[in-house]
Each structure stands twice: as structure tokens, then as C-alpha cells.
């Protein structure tokens, strides 16, 4: 049997579980996840190597309609995600089966109609519904677009993920692997660290704060054999947000730092000395030149 290999883009509206799926597939935490929508800002590659195939997944930021994009950053993020539709062998549209077809889903399907690619539909979060609740939604999606496969899954519990993987391999082209088999992502460690810090901000801060923060890792140095020194700056958009992020007597920033350190240590497998600073980069989400600091792929 010949080896198969290809690129698969994972798209969908925010919060449907794309990053959760990519983590499950690679068996490692490479993409941050949160209960809040619009968590992912960059396209992240997750590599899964089987005996007979290698799939390179592209986790993309959640797509909203352009009219809903509030800032130049939002528009930039959507453009990134839509770019994820080109240059891949296959596309998986992920939807949340606990809610009806949304305007965003329809917007994405319209985009899919303009490109000739194999598209799977992954109906995620089946752990939250009863089986008979799926039928009418399934039918509705079937009427919307000629999906090559429709697979109900739970990215959180791992339900039907092996079926999804197996079906994808069937459609992939014969091609040698693109990456070494021990690699799960090509994301640089600095970016991964910045993302893990951002995940803690999404978990701990409220309202606009997580969306207003840009994390930049300035120093990443091996100080001892098992100790890495990391210095990161958390940029906010306004002076008032600085105080909120630091918290009363520094409580919030301390909590972000402590929990992030634990996550980074677990991921990198060594001790971390983490130093966080908070600074203001006025209105950075409106300024294109600051997007390059967002990190990978920009």
C-alpha cells in the first residue's frame, strides 16, 4: 500500500470545538481552547502520523460574517481563516449540533460553493444531545451542501474521531509524509508559550479584556539544564485595562502567571521561570502594523 499524505483545513464558526479536536487528534495540547468565542487568532498546524498516512491539520480562527467583524483585527483574522480554504487537499466544516444552522454556517457554506474541494461535515458536541435530536439537523445540512461525509463527533470525549480520521485518509492523495513522524506541530515554542498565557487570560479575565490582550514573548532562554527563563509582555489597548489585568494588589496577574507557568512546564517538560509585564499599546487592534506581533503565520 502506498503512503498517503495531505493537508486538511478545519473551519467553522467560533466556539464549535475546532481547537479541541486538533488537540485530541495530535494527542497533545498545541492549540488553546476556551469557553469564549474567537479564541484562536492564528492558523495552527497539527500533524498526525499513522502507519500508512500523515494528515496535517490546519486549525483556523472561527469565521464570523464580515459585517460582524468589529475591528481591523477581526477582519484580518477572518481573512486568515478563509485563506485556510485554499492550498489544502480537504476541508472539514465543523458545526455545533446543539444549535440550529447559523448565519455564519450559511456564510461559510457559500464560500465552500466557490471552491472545488472535498468537504466533510463534523457535527460536534454530540455528548450534549440525544441521538434522535440529530436527525433533523443532519437533514438540514445535507440539503445545504453536498458533503462527502457527515460524521457526528465529540471532540471532547473522542467519540467517532477514529472514524473521522479513517474516512479522511481514504480521500487523501498518495504522497510521502510532509513532516517527520515525531512532530505534532511546527509552531515555535515562543508562540506556544504566548498562546498558553493567552489561554489563561481567556479563562480568568472577563468581557473585552481577553480580546484586548496581545501577548509577546520577549525572552526565552535556557538558564540551566532544566530551567527556561521566559519574559512576556501583555499589551492592553487602554490604560484602564492595565489595572484590571494586574488586579487588586496584583492578584489577577499573579494568578495568570502561576497557572500559565504550570501549563508551560507541563507542555515543555522542564521548569519555567516566568516573568510577566503589562503595558499599553494604544488601540493595537486597529493598527495593522501590530498584527505581526500576534505571532505565527502573520
Examine residue 76 and tell whether it contacts ligand GTP (CB under 6 A): no
Q: Which does 127 bind (CB under 5 to 8 A by kind): ligand GTP, Mg ion, none?
A: ligand GTP
Examine residue 259 and tell whether it contacts ligand GTP (CB under 6 A): no
Closest chain position to ligand GTP (CB): 62
Q: What SS3 class is residue 213? A: coil
Q: What is the DSSP string of 222-248?
A: EEETTEEEEEEEEEESSHHHHHHHH-G
Least distance CB 22 / ligand GTP (angstroms):
8
Identify the residue among 5, 9, 39, 212 touching ligand GTP (CB under 6 A).
39
Examine residue 185 and tell whether it contacts ligand GTP (CB under 6 A): no
Q: Which does 38 bind (CB under 5 to 8 A by kind): ligand GTP, Mg ion, none?
A: ligand GTP
Examine residue 62 and tell whether it contacts ligand GTP (CB under 6 A): yes
Determine the interface stretch with ligand GTP among 31-39, 100-108, 114-122, 242-250 (rule: CB under 6 A). Answer: 31-39
What character string, x for contact with ligand GTP (CB under 6 A) and - otherwise, covers 117-146? -------xx-xx------------------
Q: In what helix (H) or strand (E) does residue 83 lie, and over which residues does it extend?
A: helix 72-83
Q: What SS3 class is residue 217? A: strand
Return the number of the residue (25 or 88) whose C-beta is nearest ligand GTP: 25
How many helices and strands, by DSSP H and E, does the chain display? 9, 9
Examine residue 71 and tell whether it contacts ligand GTP (CB under 6 A): no
Return the number of the residue (210 or 257) whose C-beta is nearest ligand GTP: 210
Examine residue 14 and tell whether it contacts ligand GTP (CB under 6 A): yes
Examine residue 198 and tell whether it contacts ligand GTP (CB under 6 A): no
* Residue 294 phi, psi dihedral angles, 5° rounding: -65, -20
Examine residue 295 and tell whether it contacts ligand GTP (CB under 6 A): no
Determine the interface stretch with ligand GTP among 16-24, 44-52, 115-123, 184-192 (rule: CB under 6 A). Answer: 16-24
Query: Would you mind telling me the total number of residues written for the chain in this entry?
Result: 298
Determine the interface stretch with ligand GTP among 8-16, 45-53, 84-92, 160-168 (rule: CB under 6 A). Answer: 8-16
Q: What SS3 class is residue 221? A: strand
How many residues bind ligand GTP (CB under 6 A)? The answer is 24
Rounded CA gap, 169 and 52, in Å?
A: 9
The cell numbers describing 102, all together, are 447559523
CB 175 within 8 A of CB 3: yes
Examine residue 160 and tell whether it contacts ligand GTP (CB under 6 A): no
Dihedral over Cα of 12, 256, 231, 73: its sign: positive
The cell numbers describing 44, all together, are 495552527
Nearest Cα to Cα of residue 84 among 27, 42, 23, 55: 42
Return the number of the residue (52 or 79) whose C-beta is nearest ligand GTP: 79
Return the number of the residue (210 or 257) whose C-beta is nearest Mg ion: 210
Nearest Cα to Cα of residue 126 among 91, 150, 149: 150
The cell numbers describing 263, all together, are 501549563
The cell numbers describing 66, all together, are 464580515
Residues making contact with ligand GTP (CB under 6 A): 12, 14-20, 33-35, 37-40, 61-62, 124-125, 127-128, 154-156
Amino acid at each position: 500500500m502506498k503512503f498517503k499524505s495531505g493537508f486538511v483545513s478545519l473551519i467553522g464558526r467560533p466556539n464549535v470545538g475546532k481547537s479541541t479536536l486538533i488537540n485530541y487528534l495530535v494527542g497533545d495540547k498545541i492549540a488553546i481552547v476556551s469557553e469564549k468565542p474567537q479564541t484562536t487568532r492564528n492558523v495552527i498546524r497539527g500533524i498526525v502520523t499513522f502507519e500508512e498516512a500523515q494528515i496535517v491539520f490546519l486549525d483556523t480562527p472561527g469565521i464570523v460574517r464580515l459585517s460582524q467583524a468589529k475591528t481591523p483585527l477581526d477582519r484580518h483574522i477572518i481573512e486568515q481563516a478563509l485563506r485556510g480554504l485554499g492550498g489544502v487537499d480537504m476541508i472539514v466544516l465543523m458545526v455545533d449540533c446543539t444549535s440550529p444552522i447559523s448565519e455564519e454556517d450559511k456564510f461559510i457554506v457559500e464560500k465552500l460553493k466557490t471552491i472545488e474541494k472535498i468537504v466533510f461535515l463534523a457535527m460536534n458536541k454530540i455528548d450534549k444531545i440525544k441521538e434522535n435530536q440529530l436527525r433533523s439537523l443532519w437533514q438540514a445540512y445535507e440539503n445545504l451542501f453536498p458533503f462527502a461525509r457527515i460524521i457526528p463527533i465529540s471532540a471532547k470525549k473522542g467519540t467517532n474521531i477514529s472514524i473521522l480520521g479513517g474516512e479522511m485518509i481514504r480521500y487523501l492523495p498518495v504522497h510521502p509524509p510532509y513532516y517527520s513522524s515525531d512532530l505534532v506541530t511546527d509552531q515555535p515554542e515562543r508562540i506556544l508559550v504566548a498562546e498558553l498565557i493567552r489561554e489563561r487570560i481567556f479563562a480568568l479575565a472577563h468581557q473585552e479584556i481577553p480580546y484586548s490582550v496581545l501577548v509577546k514573548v520577549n525572552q526565552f532562554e535556557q538558564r540551566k539544564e532544566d530551567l527556561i527563563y521566559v519574559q512576556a509582555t501583555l499589551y492592553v489597548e487602554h490604560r484602564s485595562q492595565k489595572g484590571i489585568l494586574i488586579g487588586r494588589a496584583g492578584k489577577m496577574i499573579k494568578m495568570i502567571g502561576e497557572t500559565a507557568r504550570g501549563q508551560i512546564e507541563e507542555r515543555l517538560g522542564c521548569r519555567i521561570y516566568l516573568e510577566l509585564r503589562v503595558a499599553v499599546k494604544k488601540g493595537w487592534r486597529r493598527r495593522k502594523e501590530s498584527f505581526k506581533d500576534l505571532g505565527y503565520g502573520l
